[in-house]
Amino acid sequence: MSQPLKFYFDFLNQSSRALYIFLEASKIPFEAIPISMLKGEHLTGEFRDKVNRFRKLPAITDHGYQLSENTAIFRHLAREKLVPEHWYPRRHLGRSRIDEYLAWHQSNMGVACTEYFQQKWLVPYLQKTRPSDNAVNVAGKQLEHTLNDFEQLFLNSRKFMMGDNISYADLSAICEIDQPKSIGFSAFKNRNKLARWYDSVREELGPHYKSVYEEFEAKLKLNNQGQQGVAQAQAL
């Protein structure tokens, strides 16, 4: 019997959410295996030894073949599974334009959103301290700059980044922007084009996006409460 696709993920991680939504929306059968990054489950045991030598999420095994890196997994699925064309269209060189965005995303959007999320939420969570105002400020300024670039370089008068149809570029971008947005960053202030695009993408993704985003928010809230419990206990 052939082994099903196994998908290892944590909804606190933006690329895990993007690929999970992509798998669901594309109706690709898969076994969902949640891994807790906050507990360090991606660093040890069976995951490290048998699933992902990079010790990173998301990851897949497909017929026993192990693969890491969000964009590599996306391209693998687009090649090996039945995937609706609009996610990675061949027509009018759309695929090249999406590759261009995904490369820009990795070095710019991904770095800026991750840094803000780490300074404001993850580092304080792991170290049980308050965020450093200075580090959050620096990360926030870089993020403002990157969101301006994103709006200017990639958004236009059309509904989605590549035109009338949603693609994996939109899905990657919305999940990344949700990292800082979910912890209070005002991404849309003075950015009407970004706000319009964000609403279009969210609406198009519908319940697939909604349920994943709600689970992400619930995880943040749950861990915030744990954090406050620790702070209160320390204050007693």
- Give the interface with a second copy as residue ranges (CB under 8 A): 53-54, 65, 67-72, 75-76, 79-80, 93, 95-97, 99-100, 102-104, 106-107, 153
Least Å from the CB of residue 235 to a second copy: 37
Minimum gap (Å) between residue 184 Cβ and a second copy: 26
Q: Which is nearer to a second copy, 12 or 77 (CB)?
A: 77
CB-wise, 72 or 230, nearer to a second copy? 72
Which of 99, 151 has the CB closer to a second copy?
Answer: 99
Work out how close the CB of 127 gets to a second copy at its nearest, in angstroms, rounded to a whole number. Answer: 22
The set of residues, in sequence order, having a beta carbon less than 8 Å from that of 8 and lying 6+ positions away, is 33, 34, 35, 42, 47, 51, 52, 57, 58, 59, 60
Q: What are phi and psi of 177, to 5 degrees?
A: -65, -30
Task: Output 70 or 119, the one with its CB closest to a second copy.
Answer: 70
CB of 77 to a second copy, least distance (A): 10
